[in-house]
Amino acid sequence: DVKVTQSSRYLVKRTGEKVFLECVQDMDHENMFWYRQDPGLGLRLIYFSYDVKMKEKGDIPEGYSVSREKKERFSLILESASTNQTSMYLCASSYPGGSGELFFGEGSRLTVL
Amino acid sequence: QKEVEQNSGPLSVPEGAIASLNCTYSDRGSQSFFWYRQYSGKSPELIMSIYSNGDKEDGRFTAQLNKASQYVSLLIRDSQPSDSATYLCAALRNTGKLIFGQGTTLQVKP
């Protein structure tokens, strides 16, 4: 079974702190994604990556950056957390070729105070 | 206008009935469509994909696609309480980005 593991299920941070959300997948997938999920807004794509050291902006990249130094690991970085970044963050991976079949991690619920 | 739109619900149906979930999309370049199910407190999981006009059946689930009307639907026959969840419609852009609707919450009442 594909396993996508997110490092933290729950985080509480203060405004202005730097936040790292880590995601690791064990299926050798080329594609990895970060979404955030908010009530009434569904899942919105923040960043995605099709290869190591490669990244592309999604629909809401402002205030976020990503890092993919190894194929299995994709990190989401909030340089200076703000209260409007309080959300559920979901990492996903998929096979190459633009497949719509995503395998999601359990999610990281971030609260910024 | 959102690129993928769903009625957020909740949609309430009695056990054994047919649940009909609908979705519209605005990007005519999208060619592939997906339905994900998300139980409360859990992550989404893929339940159906559809790529061409018409119906696709898998057990109690039928996905329908009408590209001319830019409309996707999911029918769940013989609905069970265990089908109670949020159903997310998604469209795959030709850039490879998967775009989700806001989801429809389904409640199946025993």
A10 touching B (Cβ < 8 Å) = no
Distance CA A23, CA A106 (A): 10
pLDDT tens track for B21-57: 999 999 988 889 999 999 999 999 999 999 999 999 9
Please, are residues A49 and A69 in contact by the beta-carbon 8 Å criterion?
no
A1 touching B (Cβ < 8 Å) = no
Predicted local confidence at residue A2, as pLDDT: 67
pLDDT tens track for A64-98: 999 999 999 999 999 999 999 999 999 999 987 66
Contact B45 A104 (CB under 8 A): yes
Distance CA A33, CA A55 (A): 10
Q: In the beta sheet, which residues pair with residue B32?
A: B92
Of B4, B6, B98, the CB nearest to A100: B98
pLDDT tens track for A8-19: 899 999 999 999
Predicted local confidence at residue A40, as pLDDT: 84
Contact B102 A35 (CB under 8 A): no
